[in-house]
Structure 1
Amino acid sequence: MNRLTTLCAGALMLAGSAAMAERYVMITHTQGTDPFWPVVEKGGRDAAAAVGAEFEYNFDASGDMAGMAKLIEAAAASQPDGIVVSLPDAAALGPAIKAAVDAGIPVITMNSGLESSKEVGALMHVGQPERDAGFAAGTRAKAEGVTKGLCLNQEAFNTALVDRCTGYFDAMGAELNQIDVSNDVTQIETRTAAALQADASIDGVLAVGPHVCEAANKAIKSVGATVHLACFDLSPGVMDMIEAGDAAFTIDQQQRLQGYMPIIVLHLYNTNAGLLPGANIPSGPGFVDASNAASVKEQAGINR
């Protein structure tokens, strides 16, 4: 009888522990054809596993901000221990995030929205300063001979991507020359080819997403242009392009950290009386080029 009582008590303790497990929800603004986000999601899942928490990942496949706001509202209604959210459009997403914070749910923004993170009530932000990253890309492109650039933006609503393009042209002392190309790789290729054919003086292209860069490379080859191509983020295809000399470099913002670190910080915040880092966590930018591509290639699309 004593043994049975002990076993039952142990089972109840385990059940109680399981019931008390932390639960975190991550919501991002797109997934679809972009190879960037599965690495972010993996980072979140890895962090949750490391701290013994439950993890949910949601996104609005259309990239619609109203749809994303509803996902944030639904997550808040489920009363998780924390929400991690990308913030491409603070005006559209801010009210839902503020409502979650007002309900006592800690929120960390990541990837996009650094400048608006505090004003929507988030604890902090994990990601790279996007204009600075674009400026670094433009500084290097100019040093490598670019005189007239073109920036390809696949998400016109995303302020972070506009900041990348803006920084690129600010570094070159030129006006913004950006075209919106969507996330459809066929459309990216078509619009890029058309832009290059319309202006033969363009000798530099910045693609602010890895799939965009791969499609841009096809467009450049299809029209026979000689163009300095620079990318943002890593994918196996981008790494192959760098090794082949088709792309000069890519900006690495270490997206696994953008998924991993918010979960770790929320866990520490919830279990250590509000423990927080003293500042936002910059996950980038860093350059990957021919000098170091071999060392990170195997991680592209997995952890980088």
Structure 2
Amino acid sequence: MVQLAIVSAVAGGLFGFFLTGKPFMQANLKPEETDFFNDNAIDGGQFLQLNRPVNILVMGMSVLPPDTQNAPEESKDLGYLPQINSFDGLSDVMLLIRFDPKTNQLNMLSIPRDTRTEIEGYGLRKINSANRLGGAYLSAKSVQNLLGNIDIHGYVRINVLGVGKLVDALGGVTVNVPKDLKYQDDSQHLYINLKAGEQHLDGDKALQLLRFRNDGRGDIGRIERQQLLMQALIQQALNPATLARSPIILGTIKENIDTNLTLDSLLTLVNFGVRTNRSDIKMLTLPGRVSNDREFDASYWLPDEEEIDEIITRYFN
């Protein structure tokens, strides 16, 4: 009852902030793309109560000026490539989240950005290219095909600039950084310098943790750090004090989010998350292996179809 009261209060605040049905939607989906997602499956039943399992695709977008034809003028001729607030380009993070009221579990499957899979209409490519080629719909369609025709009911895309603002709005997050992380890329003004150990990260340092991948482990090392940050964000975001401030927090990152979910749907999923025990949150990584130098011209994550079938059957069926 306490959790429901909290979420009901949040709902009132959010309705005051956002009066449209899909307040965070930045992209215009075609009718057939809207039908593919069928986000109406989330609504229904008692107030804010999820009455069937739902799969949501979450993507983190790291976009540079060459990735889009609509780069702002102020991002050009700087002598380096800055991050811009856009949803074009490659998806740096891909995460399929299952909210399952039948088991009271929340399962998250990280999909490496270099996963080699069929992109409808374009052949075998890295899965992160699907967003650049066809937006959120083609990304979701590619994930569906990769995972054995699984239903995907909605998507959320968040630009990396919004992640930094979100962490700052939450007051930072406490993370145990697994090792010293140091990297420099002058072409993007990307400077990473984190020491190992438990520490409270602000938005800039959280982005350093997310973007580091120069440890010889490629996508898999990066996914492990993404999952560390995700756990910290969940812990911070779903506590009652933070939820009470959520209308203000979401207002600060509204322009950095694109989703086809309605406000009712978002609140229903938040309510489910609030009620979920942390021990019932499972984080998984798409099974596979890194390709070797003799197999392809580029490096890929090669999915293991048999192990994928086992994970989907156990956690997403």
Q: TM-score range by the shorter chain?
A: under 0.3
With a CA cutoff of 8 Å and minimum separation of 6, indicate the structure with the bigger relative contact order: 2
With the length of structure 1 as denominator, give the TM-score of the two structures: 0.25
In terms of fraction of residues, the more strand-rich structure is 2
Q: What's the TM-score once normalised by structure 2's chain length? A: 0.24
Q: Which has the larger radius of gyration?
A: 1
